């Protein structure tokens, strides 16, 4: 009996389906145009494209999904009618964040634009109550006055309510009672408490994250409900696991309470795919490069594992939840080329998206895009886009570039197309530098794993610029994010703030706090039908010097914690501090600030099948020749990716075509097929 593991990723231009048959190792892939007006329709079109013949939905073992629904609702300001409840007298917390909390590393508070308020003052209600930093109630919740103030919600059409009271992470009782009072007045409103969304120190990050969570939640939950109903109508009754920003999946039921953790859903899946491929090919230092239709994303992988950061920026807004360390810019295949007031060519961040798409798509688009430039330079085959399912209109691409770029600037068509490519490449090189050089890493020590529909077209040029010695293109680069879903684990991050001097805090008390967190995590995963013996816990404490404001996470062991272990924690913190900041303060006392617990259920990973060696000659994959531009027009050989075998070698300039992407090998470079079917582009030394 077949056993299918399904991953579905929604991108700005295409919705990708990747299915792994667990017994045979066979992989099935499909790309469907994203349907922006109803994303569910595109997902179900992809599902219906797989379940034909004798394939049965009852044979599905896991169903994974990555979606941009939460991201789009936030960035396009299309979230819910959201209200904010805050401790009386503290409404300024949301309006006057510290500059470092808006954008770390910024110092000019007067000129730097603050993020727009998702909840304006007119939808903010002050609550008569007060808890101190130890969790002691200084002013009991005045329920009678609170009911009177909450009456505004009744006729306001409130879809979501964010509740963020001062120091509620130390004592959540007032927030919990407020949820009951809100339900009395506005039973239809969805309520989100900061003590559940982000129970940790620092008012602005906690408040901002809770507001974003409430703002996107109704949109996300409506989408999930529609999708699950559509899945059930196809007899797909398995739990729906959704990718989080931290690179782990959770059930849709669990994420419906914390949808803010889905903001980097799709990009995270791509990094997981790059990490998995890196581990299988013994590349433990990897830069992932994902260039799709709308954006380009880059992440860094060290020792086979993606780097995690405790907070990230989504557009204007600070999100304080664990996320893979990613840099994302508006440079994709659909990014629009335009001329600014000074007469300079710009590319993005505006995108032609899926509707109407680039000018070369048969949907009536008129704006020139990166894809149009790639086609004009001969890098793309107009008759083999998506394996021939879509025929690209090369004359329409040329007209768009000529009309809106070449003509106004007095350039010929090729110079204009080449200019578009140079500009978008420079933007992507900067993104790669941000994720490596700015983090203290040398890109020359890494391999660049390139994917996304447009990634392999541009990756070799980016590697040349950064002196990266090798580019690895996986077997299905246009569907790598969907494949990344299939190699994910189930994962949930927990945090709890409790201040204590490290020396004075008994190790037994630290143990008790972690045991309580682990018991809660066990109950949550057991409620999802998962056996407790499959659940693994990873502990860490956030430590800081007593004179500091910010802290660093220090991993702990999972066994019984002993008093002598605290010396090792202190030593690890000193070393970590010196690595990050170049100094240590051995004379300063160290404080515990937060307890962190990462709980995961490890899932078996699909293994790439190794191929037998077939020699260096790639003539069997030769398709023909076409004119392509490499600092001049070249009669360039073209190869079929599906007919390349282990050991085949292709000298540049060359183009390698496949259903979901195109690989461009530049002069002086060589492409080699490894035992897993990856194409390794080796640059000149």
Say yes or no to pLDDT of 74 above 70: yes
* Percent of the chain's residues with pLDDT above 70: 97
pLDDT tens-digit series, residues 472-492: 999 989 888 899 999 888 899
DSSP states of 494-546: EEEEEEEETTTS-HHHHHHHHHHHHHHHHHHHHHTT--GGGEEEEEEEEEEET
Average pLDDT rounded to a whole number, residues 325-343: 88
Region 4-73+221-262: CATH code = 3.30.420.40
Q: Classify 182 as helix, strand or coil.
A: helix
Asked if 607 and 280 touch (Cβ cutoff 8 Å), the reply is yes
Give the pLDDT confidence score for residue 557 in this predicted structure.
81
Q: Which two tokens stand for residue 166?
A: 């001062």
Token representation of residue 311: 């907070």
Alpha helix locations (H) across 11-133? 39-50, 69-75, 92-95, 99-102
Question: How far apart, in Å, are the Cα atoms of 222 and each of 34, 219, 339, 506?
Answer: 18, 5, 39, 47
Give the pLDDT of residue 108.
55
Report helix, strand or coil for 144. helix
Q: What is the pLDDT of residue 227?
A: 94
Q: Phi-psi bin for 677: left (phi > 0), alpha (psi -120 to 50), beta? A: left
Residue 107: CB atoms within 10 A of its CB come to 7
3-state secondary structure of 44: helix
pLDDT at 650 over 70: yes
Average the pLDDT over each of 75-79, 108-112, 233-237, 460-464 and give the range with the smallest value.
108-112
Cα 353 to Cα 11, 66, 210, 263, distances in angstroms: 9, 18, 30, 19
Residue linked to tokens 């998206």: 353
Average pLDDT, the chain: 90
pLDDT beyond 60 at 455: yes
CA dihedral 280, 11, 494, 197 (to 10 degrees): 180
Give me the percent of the chain exceeding a pLDDT of 90. 61
Cα–Cα distances in angstroms (integers) from residue 281 to residues 274, 304, 675, in the given order: 11, 10, 9
- Compute the distance between CA of residue 561 and CA of residue 537 in angstroms, rounded to an integer: 14
Q: Is the pLDDT of residue 1 over 70?
A: no
pLDDT confidence of residue 98: 66
**pLDDT score of 170:** 93
Do 4-73+221-262 and 490-601 agree at the fold level? no
Q: Are 268 and 515 in contact (CB under 8 A)?
A: no
Q: What is the mean pLDDT of residues 1-12?
A: 85
Distance, CA of 339 to CA of 76 (rounded, Å) = 24
d(C-alpha 391, C-alpha 378), whole Å: 14
The two structure tokens encoding residue 213: 């969570």
Kindly tell me if the per-residue pLDDT of 499 is higher than 70: yes
Q: 394-401 and 413-435 helices cross at what angle (nearest 10)?
A: 80
d(Cα 153, Cα 171) in Å, to the nearest integer? Answer: 25
Question: How confident is the model at residue 685, as a pLDDT?
Answer: 57
Contact of 620 with 589, CB cutoff 8 Å: no
Could you tell me how far CA 50 lies from the centroid of its own chain?
Answer: 26
The pLDDT tens digits of the residues spanning 127-153 come to 999 999 989 999 999 999 999 999 999
Query: Over 90: is that where the pLDDT of 501 sits?
Result: yes
Rounded Cα distance, 40 and 541, in Å: 41
Is 142 buried (19+), middle (13-18) or exposed (0-12) by CB count in 10 A? middle
pLDDT bucket at 102, cuts 50 / 70 / 90:
low
Q: How far apart are CA 584 and CA 91, in angstroms?
A: 38
Name residue, tokens 């494209």.
49
R_g (Cα) of the chain, nearest Å: 26
Q: Does residue 590 surpass a pLDDT of 60?
A: yes
The string of DSSP codes covering 280-297 is HTT--SEEEEEE-SS-EE
> 473, 663 in Cβ contact below 8 A?
yes
pLDDT computed for residue 327 by the predictor: 87
Ordered by start, the domain boundaries in the chain are 4-73+221-262, 78-216, 490-601, 619-682
At the topology level of CATH, where does 490-601 sit? Dna Ligase; domain 1 (3.30.1490)
Please list, in sequence order, all residues whose beta carbon lies within 8 angstroms of the beta carbon of residue 108, skipping any fewer than 6 positions away: 99
Is 90 exceeded by the pLDDT of residue 112? Answer: no
Is pLDDT of 350 > 60? yes
pLDDT tens readout for residues 162-194: 999 999 999 999 999 999 999 999 999 999 999
Q: Say yes or no to pLDDT of 106 above 60.
A: no
């Amino acid at each position: 009996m077949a056993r299918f593991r399904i991953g579905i990723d929604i991108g700005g231009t295409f919705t990708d389906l990747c299915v792994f048959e667990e017994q045979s190792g066979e992989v099935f892939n499909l790309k469907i145009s994203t349907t922006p007006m109803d994303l569910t329709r595109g997902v179900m079109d992809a599902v219906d494209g797989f379940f034909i013949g004798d394939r049965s939905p009852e044979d599905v073992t896991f169903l994974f999904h990555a979606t941009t629904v939460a991201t789009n609702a936030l960035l396009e300001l299309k979230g819910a009618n959201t209200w904010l409840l805050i401790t009386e007298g503290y409404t300024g917390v949301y309006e006057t964040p510290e500059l470092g909390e808006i954008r770390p590393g910024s110092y000019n508070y007067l000129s730097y634009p603050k993020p727009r308020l998702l909840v304006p003052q007119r939808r903010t209600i002050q609550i008569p109550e007060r808890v101190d930093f130890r969790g002691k109630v200084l002013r009991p919740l005045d329920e009678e006055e609170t009911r009177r103030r909450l009456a505004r919600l009744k006729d306001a059409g409130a879809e979501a309510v964010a509740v963020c009271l001062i120091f509620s992470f130390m004592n959540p009782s007032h927030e919990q009672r407020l949820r009951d009072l809100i339900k009395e007045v506005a039973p239809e409103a969805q309520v989100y408490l900061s003590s559940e969304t982000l129970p940790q120190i620092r008012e602005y990050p906690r408040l901002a994250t809770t507001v974003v969570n409430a703002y996107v939640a109704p949109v996300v939950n409506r989408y999930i409900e529609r999708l699950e109903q559509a899945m059930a109508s196809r007899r797909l009754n398995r739990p729906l696991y959704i990718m989080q920003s931290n690179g782990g999946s959770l059930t849709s039921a669990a994420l419906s309470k914390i949808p803010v953790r889905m903001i980097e859903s799709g990009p995270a899946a791509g990094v997981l795919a790059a990490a998995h491929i890196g581990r299988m090919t013994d590349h433990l230092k990897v830069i992932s490069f994902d260039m799709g239709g709308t954006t380009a994303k880059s992440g860094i992988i060290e020792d086979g594992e993606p780097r995690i950061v405790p907070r990230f920026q989504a557009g204007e807004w600070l999100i304080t939840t664990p996320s893979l360390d990613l840099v994302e810019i508006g440079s994709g295949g659909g990014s629009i080329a335009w001329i600014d007031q000074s007469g300079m060519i710009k590319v993005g961040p505006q995108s032609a998206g899926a509707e109407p798409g680039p000018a070369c798509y048969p949907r009536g688009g008129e704006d020139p895009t990166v894809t149009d430039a790639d086609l004009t330079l001969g890098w793309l085959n107009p008759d083999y886009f998506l394996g021939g399912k879509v025929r690209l209109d090369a004359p329409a691409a040329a007209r768009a570039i000529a009309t809106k770029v070449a003509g106004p600037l007095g350039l010929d068509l090729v110079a204009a197309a080449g200019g578009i490519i140079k500009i978008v490449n420079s933007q992507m090189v900067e993104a790669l530098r941000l994720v490596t050089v700015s983090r203290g890493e040398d890109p020359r020590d890494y391999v660049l794993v390139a994917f996304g529909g447009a990634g392999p077209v541009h990756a070799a040029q980016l590697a040349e610029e950064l002196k990266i010695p090798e580019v690895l293109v996986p077997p299905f680069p246009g569907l790598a994010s969907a494949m990344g879903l299939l190699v994910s684990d189930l994962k949930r991050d927990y945090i709890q703030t409790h201040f204590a001097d490290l020396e004075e805090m008994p190790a037994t008390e630290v143990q008790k706090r972690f045991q309580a967190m682990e018991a809660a995590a066990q109950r949550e995963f057991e409620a999802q039908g998962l056996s407790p013996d499959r659940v693994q816990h990873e502990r860490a404490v956030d430590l800081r010097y007593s004179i500091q404001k910010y802290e660093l996470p220090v991993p702990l062991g999972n066994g019984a914690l002993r008093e002598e272990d605290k010396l090792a924690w202190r030593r690890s913190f000193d070393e970590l501090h010196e690595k990050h900041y170049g100094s240590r303060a051995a004379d300063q006392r160290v404080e515990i600030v937060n307890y962190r617990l990462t709980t995961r259920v490890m899932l078996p990973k699909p293994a790439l099948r190794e191929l037998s060696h077939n020699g260096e000659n790639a003539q069997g994959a030769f398709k023909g020749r076409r004119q392509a531009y490499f600092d001049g027009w070249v009669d360039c050989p073209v190869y079929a990716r599906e007919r390349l075998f282990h050991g085949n070698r292709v000298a540049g300039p060359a183009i390698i075509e496949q259903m979901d992407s195109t690989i461009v090998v530049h002069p002086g470079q060589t492409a080699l097929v490894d035992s897993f079917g990856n194409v390794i582009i080796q640059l000149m030394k």
